[in-house]
Structure formats: C-alpha cells, structure tokens
A = this chain, B = another copy of it.
Amino acid sequence: MQANSSSGTAQVHINLAERSYPIVIGASLLGQPATYRDLPAASTALIVSNSTVAPLYAAQLQAALQSHYKTVLLVTLPDGEAHKDWPTLQLIFDALLKNGCDRKTVLFALGGGVVGDMTGFAAASYMRGVPFVQVPTTLLAQVDSSVGGKTAINHPLGKNMIGAFYQPQQVVCDLDVLKTLPARELSAGLAEVIKYGPIADMAFLDWIETNLNALLAREPAALAHAIRRSCEIKASVVGQDERESGLRAILNFGHTFGHAIEAGLGYGAWLHGEGVGCGMVMAAHLSQRLGLVDAAFVQRLSTLIQRAGLPVVGARLSPTDNAGRYLELMRVDKKAEAGEIRFVVIDGPGRAAVRSAPDALVREVIDSCCD
C-alpha cells in the first residue's frame, strides 16, 4: 500500500492482485465527477442508499455520476441493521432487473456499514458479480467495513451468516460527510480506529491518545490521518489473508465479547462500535489474566476507550448466569470452531494472537467486567 497527499487527498492502495483497488480520502470528494474517472466504462450506475443518508447526499452523488453514466438509478433501503436481510436485498435485485441492468452496471454503496454490506453482497451475486464502489458515510464504515471485501446479510439465526468475500473497485472516504454524523456514531467509529493500535501499531495508539480531542472535534486533518492509518493497517492484514484463514482474525479484537453483547441485548441496543469498544476492554482483561500484558496496559486502553465516549463496563445479559449467557452466545459466533471460542488477545503491546481460553478464566473476566 502507499499514500500520497497531493491536493489534500490521500490514497491507500489495497494490493490484492487482480482485485486491487484504491481508497481515496479527502474533503468534498463525493460530489466531484473527477473522483470517479478511473472506474470501468458502463452505461448504467445504481446508487444504493438508505432513508437517512439518501436525502443528505444522493443528489450530489447522482449529479457527479451523470457525467460518466447514461443512466444513474437510485434505490433507497429502509435504514438499520434490522433491515440487513433478504427481503431488503431483493429491493436491489428488483431495481437491477426491472431496469434491465447488465453485467457491466456499477453499484454505488452510499451509506454506513449496513448499506455497504448489502450493496457488496448484491454486487457479488447479481449475475454472479458486477463492479461496485463504496462511498461510506460513517467513520466506522470508512475505517472498517469498506476495507477488506467482507459483505453479508443477516439470517434470523445469526448475524452476517450469508455473504461473500468481494472487493470493490474503489472506496471514496469523503471527510465532509462526517460533519453530519451523530456523536454516538463518531465514537463507535473511533472504537475501530483505536483497535488498530493494540493489535498492530503502538505508535498509532500514542498518536490517537494525543489527538483524540481533535478527532472528537472532527478536525479534518486528524480524521484524514486516522482513516488513512486505519485503512493502511487493515489493508496490510487483509492483503496477507484475504479470506480470513488465519492472520485476518486479529482484526476481530474486541469483537467476540462485543458480538455477545450486541446479540444478548438485541441488535440495535448498542451500536457495533460500542460493543467493540467494551469488548476490547474485556479482551484486554483476558490477555492480562493469560499473562500476556500487564495491568497498566489494560488501564491505558480502557481510559482511551472511555475518553472516546464508549462504554467500558460490560452489559449484563442474564440476571442469573450472566457469564454463562456470554459463553453461550460466543460459542455460536461464526469464528468459533466445533464449539470452541477463539479469542483475539493482545500478545504484548502492538501484537495480537488468536487462542482459546479455559471457561473458568473467561467467566472471571466477564464477572469482573460487568456491572
């Protein structure tokens, strides 16, 4: 990967052989025709957005795309994780087929992680694969879900259970869209930014600690650096393990505990980033109990996560056997193997590892981290 910063726009290049693509990061990108000039030629583009984001940005994107495509269509999905399902995905396929869209049609995902996941899976599956572009409008989607090619919808029995690994042609991270992001969602995005420190780059963790106030104040230069460095680290990991057979699992630091909280409370009660924030605190405690990091490291991480506006105390998921409920939920996680939970732990500052842990130890961690 590489970065350049001519004209205030940074670029991170994701190296995946014939599936390589650029992430462009900068102000006022979304509405500029030039942003899209290197995309493959096609007669039709379909913008997929949701009922919250479309009124804010769809017209701008549509106008910019009209200089490249004869027809620019828009499909607006209902907003929220609850709609990341097959009936909503069908709305995209219906729009494609009703408009006679062929294999060259380019899909544009304009929204957060849910829109990105659904548009990506629709692109992966429509006629067995059409090109797509991510235009993420949340910090979380910019630093995480738009990088790495994971796409999916939920099944009534599990989150992200049906999907594909499918890479976009380009990711456009426009800093301007973060101005309209609710504070709670900004914090949720920062959880994934913070994550890259303990698992891969302690200097970046230092930088985040120093610049957290600027990030919370949405200063463009700080946001641009945080997004770029997050994408670089993720790109480096994904480039070594596109299909998550090993190394890539370290990106799930905080996610095993976090997913249990999200699922246990019912999706939507906590934002994904909130679950990850608190989950990192719990995973750090587990790392400490495994003798991999010291108490000062756990405290440092916990303080930063709290400063970012994220929860650091685990939610209670059962009035009777709280730890048992966590374990039960973590055992059905997609990353579990034959019922054995795989934890991402910090194996010394700046380095992550994946391992199992005795139930008794995990119970101690949960008991000490929850109300």
Contacts and interface: CB of A to CB of B under 8 A. Distances in A.
Interface of A: 43, 86, 90, 93-94, 97-98, 100, 102-104, 124-129, 150-152, 155, 157-158, 161-165, 243-244, 332, 334, 336-339
B125 A164 contact: yes
Given A86-B86, A102-B336, A338-B43, A128 B97 contact: no
B152 A128 contact: yes
Contacts of A103: 334, 337
B93 A155 contact: yes
Given A103-B334, A334-B103, A337-B104, A161 B127 contact: yes
Contacts of A243: 128-129
Given A102-B336, A102-B338, A337-B103, A164 B128 contact: yes
B161 A97 contact: yes
Nearest to A334: B127
Task: Name the residue among A98, A150, A152, A164 with the largest chain B CB count within 10 angstroms.
Answer: A164
Given A103-B334, A103-B337, A128-B163, 17 more contacts: A86-B86, A86-B90, A93-B161, A93-B162, A97-B155, A97-B158, A97-B161, A98-B157, A102-B337, A104-B338, A124-B164, A126-B162, A127-B161, A127-B334, A128-B150, A128-B244, A129-B165
